[in-house]
Chain A
C-alpha cells in the first residue's frame, strides 16, 4: 500500500500567486515526521520544510508553509507568491517512528510549472 500519496502529477500556477501541493500519508505509528523536498531539473534534492507529528503548529519557512491536518493524514505544501524559480518537481516524504534509522519514504512527486 502507498504510504505517501501525491495525487497531482503536474500543476500550473501563475507567477506571484499561491499554490497548494497535496500530500496524504498512511501510518499507524504515532510518532513520525513529514518532509517536503524540491528537485529542480539539475537533479539535486533541496530540503524545504519539516513537520513533526507532535508539533502543535504548522511549520513555516519563508514562502513555504505546511498545512498539517493530522486527522485527515494530510500534509499539503503551500507556496505563496510563486516565482519562476519555483518550477521544479516537489516530493513529500515521511519518516516513521522513533527508531534511529532516519529512513524516508517518498511520494511520486508533483511537477510544478510557474507561468510568467
Chain B
C-alpha cells in the first residue's frame, strides 16, 4: 500500500537534546513538507523540499533542520535551539505536476520534559 509513514508516534525529549523525526513516503512524490500543529491551532509550515538535495525554509524554520538525501525520505531534526518544541508534527508529500492535494502521515507527538 502506498502512503506516508512517520515514526515514532510519540516522542519524549529532555530539554537541551536534539531529536530526529522520521518521514518516509512510497508515493513517488517529488515534494515533501513538515508542519507543526499546536493544540487547537492550524498547521504551520516548517520546511519543504521539491527535489532531492534541496529544501527551503517555511514560516517557522528557526530551531529546526532537515535533509533530503533520498526522494522517499525527509527527516526533521528538532534542535535544542527550538524554544518551545512540544507540539504535533505532521509530514506531507505531493506531486508537483498537478499541485493538488497533499497527503499526510499520521504525525508524531513530541513532548519535551
Contacts and interface: CB of A to CB of B under 8 A. Distances in A.
B45 A44 contact: no
Given A33-B100, A43-B109, A109-B40, 5 more contacts: A47-B103, A91-B43, A101-B56, A102-B31, A103-B45
What class of interface size applies to chain B in its complex with A? 20 to 34
Interface string B94-113: 10100111111111010000
Interface of B: 31, 33, 35, 40-45, 48, 50, 56, 58, 88, 90, 92, 94, 96, 99-107, 109
A102 B42 contact: no
B58 to A, nearest CB: 7
11 contacts: A33-B99, A43-B107, A44-B106, A45-B43, A47-B102, A47-B103, A91-B43, A95-B99, A104-B102, A106-B43, A109-B40
A45 to B, nearest CB: 4
A104 B88 CA distance: 17
Interface string A85-103: 0000001010100101111
Q: Which 7 A-B pairs have the closest CB atoms?
A: A106-B42, A45-B104, A47-B101, A106-B43, A43-B107, A102-B94, A108-B42
B102 A102 contact: yes
Q: Is the interface of B mostly helix, strand, loop or mixed?
A: strand
A35 B101 contact: yes
B84 to A, nearest CB: 18
A42 interface: yes
Nearest to B58: A103
A50 B102 CA distance: 11
A101 B106 CA distance: 22
A56 B107 CA distance: 35
Interface in A33-57: 33, 35, 37, 42-47, 50
A50 B56 CA distance: 25
Interface in A1-39: 4, 33, 35, 37
